[in-house]
Structure 1
Amino acid sequence: MDVCAVHPGPSFDTRADITSRAIPLRAITCDVGTGEAVFWRDAFDCHRNTARDVVDSAVEAGFFESEWRGGREYVRQTTRYPADWFGRLVGIENKPDLGDPGDLERQLRTDASLGLFDEIILATESYVTRAHLNRIPESVGVWRFDPESGEREVVRDATPLDPASPGIELVAERPLRTDVELVSGERKRQARLRLAERTYGKGWRTYDLPTCANASVTSDGRPYCAHFNRVVEPGRDCGDDCQPFEAADAPSLDADSLRDERTPWVSDPDGVARRQSGLDRFW
């Protein structure tokens, strides 16, 4: 899936106060709470190295705080994790040219049958025919988007999926045979949580800007080409194959500040780590 749109839930502000980074799923689900600190290795049911990475990431993010006793590190959560910080997850598959679909049909069937997202959208620049719609699962919505004008035409509305119910994952397809796996609602819940956290921490407008003298950035952070007078997709439109390409430094973009300004995400929250009494240094 090219884009995951996270819709804020009731406790989004609480989540934003913790950290601007992603919180590892294992840090959320392990046996570490907000009460008494526990020895870090006892809190995880996974390989020691994996647990160590999770602890380090959670401490750096401000979700864990650590203290030392007798040469051993103990950790606790700085605050309770707000599980309802996100609402709907909308998956958007970007396929500008439907004339070159690749494995699009199989990908959309897999996403629709798994039901990890609340809605799935196919975004394209192509003219959408009835034949195109017939090859796409009925639950998938279709948008036709004009990158130059920014206008969007809703060709077909998405049908809401049910992320709480079990889903079916297409594992492999062979002639006369398709292997599938039943995915429980609990596994989907954890996968959605991991996806929402990864999306929250990954950022916004994360693509590389064109290293071209004709490139600039729009007010909302999209790459713009002065030669063609339109917004461009760097991975598809730019590079040595473009005749007017002129190598130069990429235009500057403070994506974090722009994201902070235009979305509910907070760039540099104060955090919720509690002040330590300092007594742990005597252990």
Structure 2
Amino acid sequence: MPAPVSSPSEFAFELALCARLEQTTDWLPARQLGASVASPGSRIIDVCAVVPGPEFDERARITDSEIPATAIESDVGAGSAVFWRDGFDCHPARARRATDRAVEVGFFESERRRSREYVRRAARYPHDWFSRLVGIENKPDLGSPGDLLRQLRLDVSLAVFDEVILSTESYVTGAHLNRIPGEVGVWRFDPDTGDREVVREPQPLSPGSTGVEPTEYHSLHTDVALVSPAEKRTARLRLAERAYGKGWRAYDLPACAHARADADGRPACAHFDRVVDPGSECGADCSAFEAADPPELDRDGLRESRTGWVADPAGAVRRQSGLDRYF
């Protein structure tokens, strides 16, 4: 008989997997990113792992933050500066937001001419900085699948990712594998030891082809949208950039005397001796809560020491370090 599942919180399971991937691969894992196109926000992937490509170092030299896809795909070049609005083919408000952010992170340079703002690119954008996007859905306990199968079917039919993987702590049976789309890889992961067993390898998806995204589910039919290769290219670029800028440690540590950060930067509780979810387990409702300043956590230092990501590179606009970039 297989050993019983300990059923950790999905939050703790997710952080353990991200920490392990960071230690054992050259991937850049990030958590909780939007992975739909036609219906933004309707699909949030648990982990998006960015696999570095041949131009990764060039990307790392530009900025440690997300560069807006709208700015990357704009007509703003590195030569003569152009009036900011003329460089975009989109709503002016969207162009304004992209311009401001691109200037802030050092991707655009800005100058004033007779009270009008002109911009140019400060650096060439290396489109080959990532080679693959891997989507990972975490379900520690397959006995409570929820919307798992619907989510995985969407990921496969839309194919924004190059590969999709299901990660679980459960014992995986043949019945489980038969229900999961054949393209989806399956890992059995132990969050306590970090051991990862590949139960089934993922099959390559087709990000360069037209995708099919379910948008509304009805009792007798499902509404779908066809997503063009061009739309998927933009979605992939946006995903990769958001993952690069955000990482996986985008959480507040608990403001409690028992709170600490473990060696991986995960929020832990000395009283209960385990990783905790600050958003649902910590605070005045906890019987052991003692108000205190949250512990310090060097997110940038940890990430830079364990991945190819570079904190505050020479090409970036210098700024005081803070937590605002993570939210």
Task: With the length of structure 1 as denominator, give the TM-score of the two structures.
Answer: 0.88
Q: CA deviation at 1:135?
A: 2.2
Q: Is the 8 A contact 1:115 1:167 kept in 2?
A: yes
Distance of 1:15 and 1:93 partners within structure 2: 27
Distance of 1:218 and 1:22 partners within structure 2: 26
2:145 match: 101
Task: With the length of structure 2 as denominator, give the TM-score of the two structures.
Answer: 0.77
Q: CA deviation at 1:162?
A: 1.8
Q: Is the 8 A contact 2:64 2:316 kept in 1?
A: no
1:193 match: 237
1:45 match: 89
Distance of 1:139 and 1:237 partners within structure 2: 36
> Amino acid of the residue matched to residue 80 of structure 2?
E
Distance of 2:194 and 2:257 partners within structure 1: 23
Q: Is the 8 A contact 2:105 2:316 kept in 1?
A: no
2:25 match: none
Greater mean deviation of Cα atoms: 172-181 or 239-248: 239-248
Higher CA-based Rg? 1
1:256 match: 300
Greater mean deviation of Cα atoms: 244-253 or 195-204: 244-253
> Amino acid of the residue matched to residue 155 of structure 2?
D
Distance of 2:292 and 2:116 partners within structure 1: 52
> Amino acid of the residue matched to residue 148 of structure 1?
D
The one of 161, 175, 179 equivalent to 1:117 is 161
Structure 2 residue matching 1:92: 3-state secondary structure: strand
Distance of 1:95 and 1:69 partners within structure 2: 55
Distance of 1:205 and 1:255 partners within structure 2: 7
Q: Is the 8 A contact 1:216 1:226 kept in 2?
A: yes
Q: CA deviation at 1:239?
A: 5.6
The one of 210, 227, 231 equivalent to 1:166 is 210
The one of 201, 221, 232 equivalent to 1:177 is 221
Greater mean deviation of Cα atoms: 26-35 or 225-234: 225-234
Q: Is the 8 A contact 2:53 2:131 kept in 1?
A: yes
2:173 match: 129
User: In the TM superposition, what are the counterparts of 1:1-283 in structure 2 within 5 Å?
Assistant: 1-235=45-279, 244=288, 246-271=290-315
Q: CA deviation at 1:211?
A: 4.0
Q: CA deviation at 1:258?
A: 0.7
Distance of 1:124 and 1:237 partners within structure 2: 22
> Amino acid of the residue matched to residue 110 of structure 1?
L
Structure 2 residue matching 1:267: 3-state secondary structure: coil
Q: CA deviation at 1:220?
A: 1.8
Q: CA deviation at 1:263?
A: 0.7
Distance of 2:313 and 2:50 partners within structure 1: 19
Q: CA deviation at 1:254?
A: 1.0
Structure 1 247/125 Cα, relative in aligned 2: closer, same or farther at 3 Å?
A: farther
Structure 2 residue matching 1:169: 3-state secondary structure: strand
1:278 match: none
> Amino acid of the residue matched to residue 60 of structure 2?
A
Distance of 1:258 and 1:144 partners within structure 2: 26
Greater mean deviation of Cα atoms: 256-265 or 146-155: 146-155
Greater mean deviation of Cα atoms: 67-76 or 93-102: 93-102
**RMSD of the TM alignment (CA)?**
2.1
Q: Which runs of 5+ in 1 are unaligned?
A: 274-283
Percentage of matched positions with identical amino acids: 67
Q: Is the 8 A contact 2:157 2:212 kept in 1?
A: yes
Distance of 1:132 and 1:247 partners within structure 2: 44
Distance of 2:252 and 2:167 partners within structure 1: 21
Q: CA deviation at 1:32?
A: 0.5
> Amino acid of the residue matched to residue 59 of structure 1?
V
Distance of 1:245 and 1:118 partners within structure 2: 43
> Amino acid of the residue matched to residue 82 of structure 2?
V
Structure 1 268/120 Cα, relative in aligned 2: closer, same or farther at 3 Å?
A: same
Structure 2 residue matching 1:30: 3-state secondary structure: coil
Q: Which runs of 5+ in 2 are unaligned?
A: 1-44, 318-327
